[in-house]
């Protein structure tokens, strides 16, 4: 397996970052991959590595306790910015970054992306540290459905019948879970909507914004907010960072690496895999988050939530099968037209 492409044009979304929401943004990057690349396991390896890391993020954030969610996010923003700056220096990619900064449209778009990913990060860490990992995993299971709806509402795309079925099943699942909770699963909905919005913005920016450059500009936008947030934490309750041993301090310092590394792996995968294969691997992250919540963190899951999750999984299967069939039909059309490709 070759090294991850730090200058990849693919953008990503994590189940909290950057991640699963931006599978659609990788279309242009995936389209540039060669047929040979698509048959090898390198692209699949990068995708699996990215989603494995994203899948175990809740367990990682739990290890940061007793650092509170607002302090964690503040440090995460600053350490991600520092890590990206080191990567840009090592790769000598400051000139392309400055070109992006001079483009007002790109700069403002990434500012909007930073705003929604901040909401995503903050809610995700509140869920991880507050014993709501199952709700977080549900948000990333329904995220593809949100992406489909954004395609209809914002991009005026037309849905196939199977996609409408998947949307309907997902709505039913949310209703069942809301009844079981006695309240709307706002964590799941906020995560899905914020991640879907992030992917939509990155799709509109296009593939000219590479993974590291995009994350650098986004965290630079958020750095003043992180400073204010950490100042409030320091004044009101004091910092936990640096007070619980060397290992704990290192874990907090590594939040920047934990944010950027899966993004880079995903960007490399996006250049080597067809979009359908990339989309199918995205479900690994919420599956691992679900397992983390039930097995490692012993979160309770009652009958209503089992039914709700079951309905969501059915919707995911319907959406995935429809995507595979659509890709196969498209391949046949291209072959019939004498075009080689997927």
12 lies in a domain?
Answer: no
Q: For residue 11, tell me if it sits in a domain.
A: no
> What is the rounded CA–CA span in Å between residue 80 and residue 88?
12
Name which of 120, 129, 142, 116 is nearest 58 in CA terms.
129
Determine the pLDDT at residue 339: 56
**Beta carbons of 290 and 309 less than 8 angstroms apart:** yes
Instruction: Note the pTM of the prediction, 2 decimals.
Output: 0.80
Report helix, strand or coil for 19: strand
1 found inside a domain: no
- Percent of the chain exceeding pLDDT 70 equals 83
> How many domains does the chain fold into?
1
In a domain? residue 145: yes
The mean pLDDT of the chain is 81
What does the pLDDT average to over 228-251? 91
- For the purposes of burial, counting CB atoms within 10 Å of the CB of 31, is it exposed (0-12), middle (13-18) or buried (19 or more)? middle
- Structural domain span for residue 65: 20-336
With respect to residue 6, please indicate whether it lies within any of the assigned structural domains. Answer: no
Is 3 within the bounds of a domain?
A: no
15 falls within a domain: no
- List the one residue out of 120, 74, 88 whose CA is nearest residue 216: 88
For residue 302, pLDDT over 90 is answered with: no
The answer on pLDDT for 42 being more than 50 is: yes
Residue 9 lies in a domain: no
Q: Rounded mean pLDDT of 307-336?
A: 79
pLDDT digits (tens, 9 = 90+) for 95-123: 999 999 999 999 999 999 999 999 999 99
């Amino acid at each position: 397996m070759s090294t991850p492409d730090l200058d990849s044009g693919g953008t990503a979304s994590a189940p909290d970052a950057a991640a699963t929401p931006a599978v659609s943004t990788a279309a242009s990057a995936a389209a540039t991959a060669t047929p040979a690349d698509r048959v090898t396991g390198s692209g699949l390896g990068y995708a699996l590595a990215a989603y494995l890391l994203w899948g175990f993020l809740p367990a990682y954030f739990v290890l940061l306790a007793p650092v509170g969610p607002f302090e964690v996010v503040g440090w995460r923003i600053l350490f991600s910015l520092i890590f990206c700056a080191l990567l840009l220096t090592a790769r000598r990619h400051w000139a392309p970054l400055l070109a992006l900064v001079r483009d007002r449209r790109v700069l403002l778009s990434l500012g909007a992306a930073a705003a929604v990913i901040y909401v995503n990060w903050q809610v995700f860490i509140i869920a991880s540290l507050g014993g709501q990992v199952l709700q977080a995993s549900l948000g990333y299971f329904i995220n593809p459905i949100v992406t489909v709806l954004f395609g209809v509402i914002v991009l005026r795309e037309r849905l196939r019948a199977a996609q409408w079925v998947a949307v309907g099943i997902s709505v039913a699942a949310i209703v069942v879970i809301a009844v079981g909770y006695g309240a709307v699963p706002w964590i799941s909905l906020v995560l899905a909507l914020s991640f879907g919005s992030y992917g939509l913005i990155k799709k509109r920016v296009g593939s000219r914004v590479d993974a590291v450059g995009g994350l650098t500009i986004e965290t630079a936008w958020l750095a003043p907010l992180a400073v204010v947030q950490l100042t409030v934490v320091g004044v009101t309750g004091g910092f936990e960072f640096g007070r619980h041993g060397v290992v704990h301090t290192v874990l907090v310092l590594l939040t920047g690496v934990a944010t950027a590394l899966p993004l880079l792996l995903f960007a490399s995968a996006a250049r080597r895999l067809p979009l359908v294969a990339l989309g199918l691997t995205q479900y690994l992250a919420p599956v691992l988050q679900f397992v983390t919540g039930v097995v490692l963190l012993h979160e309770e899951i009652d009958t209503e939530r089992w039914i709700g999750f079951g309905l969501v999984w059915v919707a995911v299967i319907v959406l995935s099968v429809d995507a595979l069939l659509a890709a196969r039909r498209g391949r046949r059309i291209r072959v019939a037209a004498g075009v080689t490709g997927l």
